[in-house]
Amino acid sequence: MKNSSIRIATLVAVISFVWILSGNLENSDKSKRLKSPDEFKGEAIPRQRVRIRKIFAKDWNQKIIIRGQTSTSRSVILRAETTGVIEAVSVKKGSKVSDNQLILKIDPAERVSKLKESTALLRQRKIEYKAALKLAKRGFRAETKLAEAQALLDRAKANLKSIQKDIERTRIVAPFEGILERRFVEKGAFVQVGDHLAQLVDLNPIYFIGAVSEAEIDKLALGMAATIKLKNNHVAKGKVHFLGSVADPETRTFKVEISIPNPTGIIKAGLTSHIKIQLKSIKAHFLSSSLLSLGDEGSLGVKAVNSDKKVKFFPVTILSDQSNGVWVHGLPETLSLITIGQGYVKADQLVETYAEQSSKREGAK
């Protein structure tokens, strides 16, 4: 895309230079060509002869090429939520893990005895509360005593739940199906709350991350089909998953994410690749770049002849620059294009035409 943009810019610059130069030469020689009205009496003014070619619009398949790299769809660092010694390591680095699979286990140590104590205390508090409730209903105990029994019961329940939760935290499990990319601890290591334990990544789907220009972002939509090609020539299909809404302040580009199914994990994260997104085809013409010229207002376009043999200037938009010509948009579907003599005629000028030989016609490859 970069080389194509440079060629287009160079082409426009050359055309602009020729246009300015031709205007200066015309003005310098104008006095030599002008005749007085008396000199034209009885004399027919000859028309400029130009060669024309009938051209027809063709379907041009628009596509956007985005360069970037692959990325994980999810990546998390598992951290310790309790203190203790690593008792067991269940998964090796690089292994696939399923959702909720055990990865590491911290020794519960005294938590087991605390659990038994809390369970027994809760049972006791339940009995005390039931007894206090019966006495309160018969009027043998004050409401304050019943409230106290209720508070002790609630505290016992909360304490047991806290111990159970702390024991659950000694089991480090996978939060989703993925690959254990890194493990930061080994068996026997002492960990504290917040310490890194392992990194888990999800490569299915895998994402392609790239960026598009301001001119291209509005041509894309969520769900559009995309084809990814890696440097190892591996090809895969995906869909547009995310389109940025805010341009990067430095590059003025918008982030694009493509979601690609990757059940076998063959596509790794961080690979340089490019994505092709096919857009709807539009009608366009393929021309030699030498046929482009500048209009009176400096717009890029071509000159053609209408049915009255008058020259008409048609502005165009360059869609694609190739080695043997350019694809342009903005012309009528059929057109009598001037292929020789366009530099000597102007818009609305009457001309004589002759057809180009079919063997000399240019076409898009």
Give per-residue pLDDT as tens, 312-329: 999 998 888 888 889 999
**Is 314 in contact with 336 (CB distance < 8 Å)?**
no
293 or 21, which is more confident? 293
Claim: this prediction has a pTM higher than 0.75:
no
Indicate if the pLDDT at residue 149 is higher than 80: yes
Count Cβ atoms within 10 A of the Cβ of residue 64 and give its class: 0-12 exposed, 13-18 middle, 19 or more buried.
buried
Which part of the chain has CATH 2.40.50.100? 78-197
Candidates 3.40.1440.10, 2.40.420.20, 1.10.3720.10, 3.10.580.10; CATH matching 2-60+282-360: 2.40.420.20
Which part of the chain has CATH 2.40.30.170? 64-73+198-278
Per DSSP, 35 falls in state -
Name the CATH topology of 78-197: OB fold (Dihydrolipoamide Acetyltransferase, E2P) (2.40.50)
Q: What pLDDT is recorded for position 145?
A: 83
| Mean pLDDT, rounded, of the chain | 85
Which part of the chain has CATH 2.40.420.20? 2-60+282-360
Sign of the Cα pseudo-torsion (215, 281, 289, 211, in order): positive
Q: Which of 36-40, 91-95, 351-355 has the lowest mean pLDDT?
A: 36-40
Count Cβ atoms within 10 A of the Cβ of residue 257 and give its class: 0-12 exposed, 13-18 middle, 19 or more buried.
middle
**Is 163 in contact with 118 (CB distance < 8 Å)?**
yes
pLDDT interval class at 195 (50, 70, 90):
very high
Name the CATH topology of 64-73+198-278: Elongation Factor Tu (Ef-tu); domain 3 (2.40.30)
Q: What pLDDT is recorded for position 282?
A: 87
Indicate if the pLDDT at residue 18 is higher than 90: no
Sign of the Cα pseudo-torsion (335, 341, 344, 349, in order): negative
Distance separating alpha carbons of residues 354 and 51, to the nearest angstrom = 5
**Is 205 in contact with 259 (CB distance < 8 Å)?**
yes
> Pick from 186, 166, 165: which is nearest to 109 by CA?
166
Between the CA of residue 17 and those of 5, 13, 316, 317, 323, what are the distances in Å?
18, 6, 19, 19, 21
- The 10s digit of each residue's pLDDT in 284-299 is 999 988 898 888 888 8
